[in-house]
Structure 1
Amino acid sequence: MTHLLDGQTALVTGASGGIGRTIARRLAAEGAAVVLHCRTAVAAARETAAAIGDDRAIVVQGDLGDEQTCHRIVREAAEWGGGRLTALVNNAAVQPVQPLPGMTAADWRAVVDTDLTSVFACTQAAAELMRTQPDGGTITHIASIEATHPAPGHAHYSAAKAAVVMHARAAALEYGPFGIRVNTVSPGLIDREGLSESWPEGVRRWQEAVPTGRLGTPQDVANAVVFLASPLASWISGHNLVVDGGVSARPTW
């Protein structure tokens, strides 16, 4: 039985959280060997790797706020993959809620360095390797619909995600000649344990607004990532794939 990603080695950053963990498992289900990155939640990442299979998944650890760590993680992933890395998923991110008035430059940098600068550094490191491979590779950034629809208290997050979308387009332009495709996936509101209890008003508003009538799931995001990393998307690059149940199509007037 063949799978969409047979023979691929994929690195997923931020793979200990709900979306990252699901992306890793979905890539593995389609045949990829998977490197799961985490910063501190090593036990959760190892649990996911064990579920995939010790021969098909490993865990690497590091703070992506440091450029050299980004390069080290990519290097370790490729070494485990026998010198090849065919897919990178830049998923690691933070999303604090903080009003723009009173936000300090340090607060701003804490989000931008994790959500944007790490994407730049990991992409650069992965692309330098992929450009030497006959079949190139794919790079997928996890952005957000907040790249175009900011929410109060998310100025730093929304700005970083908007830049992530534009980075993918610029990277697609410059790395395309080397057989490297770069895209983004922009999720809407993704369900997680306890969300309905902690933010009932927000969940209610979303469900009333979204045409499909439900919140997204980590699986919805992971399916989009698999598609973009697969041969089915071989002529798709520089694209922002919005996964939001159609909420962005709703009129705002």
Structure 2
Amino acid sequence: MAVGAPPVAALLDLAGRSVIVTGASGGIGSGVAGRLAEAGANVICHYHGNRAAAENLVSQIGQAGGTAAACGADLTDEADTEALVREAVKQFGGLYGVVNNAGHQPVEPLTEISQANWARMMAVNAGGPFLLTRVFADYVRTSASGSGAVVNIASIEGYQPARGHAHYAASKAALLMFTRAAALELGALGIRVNAVSPGLVHREGIEEGWPDGVARWKKAAPLGRLGQPEDIADAVLFLLSDAARWITGADLLVDGGVSARPTW
């Protein structure tokens, strides 16, 4: 075993570490929150509008033997974001990590995107992760923790655009570059910053609502299926854990291999 490396059995153990998962009331967010709790983390399940879903998730985590709390915040608002971090520290006595999962994904043709809609997309998908990461870094710098980890949920559309998603793809590309820039600057504080870029992930009703898209995806993906929230959650768990202790500024593609297909 390498000097200083934890034993294999402890690599994914987050016991005693508290993590904020933003947008935890959604499909990927709830999967991430549940998986991190299963790994022993104290999870702050953030929500913006859907308090009932977040509180139901907290209840489910508790019934499974985990520890979680729900907290609402507008992540485009600095005071709200600072309050979220304070609440996490108050609830669990400290804060180890942040998963910037909350996002916005309307479908609009480029010629119909208003300036307001473009600005909203950037504020939520890029501005929110920036603000929470900055506030988290302030906490780490002024506390005795001395280390931490951030995982940004980006998208394969940060590399490959889709019709109707010009603003979404641009916001995820911005998030990927922010991930690298934050890793560069925050490493001195002991904070690792990485990203996970999901492909198409199953959500309730997607097969019925978009049958042609699902069929095209399954045909294109080498592994032949849609992702599940747990597929993304396990990538997040890895990047938060000691198994990824020397990884920062990276983006982990979790897309069933669809990005491996040739484009010509």
TM-score, reference length from structure 2: 0.92
Tell me whether 1:93 sits opposite 2:100 in the alignment.
no
Mapped partners of 1:78, 1:252: distance in 2:
47
Matched with 2:171 is 160
1:127 to 134, 137, 155: 137
Q: Report the counterpart of residue 109 of structure 1 in structure 2.
A: 119
- Aligned equivalent of 2:226: 215
Shift of 1:62: 1.8
Amino acid at match of 1:48: L
- 2:190 aligns with 179
Distance in structure 2 (CA, Å) of the matches to 1:133 and 1:150: 42
Give the root-mean-square deviation of aligned CA atoms.
Answer: 1.4
| SS of residue paired to 2:13 | coil
What code does the residue aligned with 1:215 have? L
Gaps of 5+ in 1: none
CA distance in 2, matches of 1:44, 1:103: 30
- Deviates most, 96-105 or 178-187: 96-105
Structure 2 residue 48 is the aligned partner of structure 1 residue 39: yes
Q: Is the 8 A contact 2:76 2:131 kept in 1?
A: no
Offset at residue 40 of structure 1 (A): 1.2
Mapping 1:1-253, distance limit 5 Å? 4-53=13-62, 56-82=67-93, 84-131=94-141, 132-253=143-264
Q: Tell me what 2:3 maps to.
A: none
| Aligned residues with identical type, % of pairs | 50
Shift of 1:133: 3.5
Distance in 1, Cα, partners of 2:235 & 2:262: 25
Aligned residues: 252
Aligned 8 A contact 1:10 1:33 in 2: yes
- The CA distance in 1 between the partners of 2:56 and 2:15, in whole Å, is 23
2:111 counterpart SS class: coil
Cα shift at 1:252: 0.9
State the AA in 2 paired with 1:19: I
**Alpha-carbon separation, structure 1, partners of 2:26 and 2:54:** 8
CA contact (8 A) 1:67 1:118 kept: no
What residue number does 2:5 align with? none
Shift in Å at residue 68 of structure 1?
A: 1.9
Ranges in structure 2 where 5+ consecutive residues have no aligned partner? 1-8
Q: Distance in 2 between matches of 1:142 and 1:65?
A: 17
Distance apart, 1:135 and its partner CA: 4.1
In 2, the alpha carbon distance for the partners of 1:10 and 1:130 equals 13
The 3 A distance-change label for structure 1 pair 134 and 42 is: closer
Runs of 4+ in 1 over 6 A off after TM superposition: none
Task: Look up the SS of the partner of 2:151 in the other structure.
Answer: strand
Deviates more, 1:55-64 or 1:144-153: 55-64
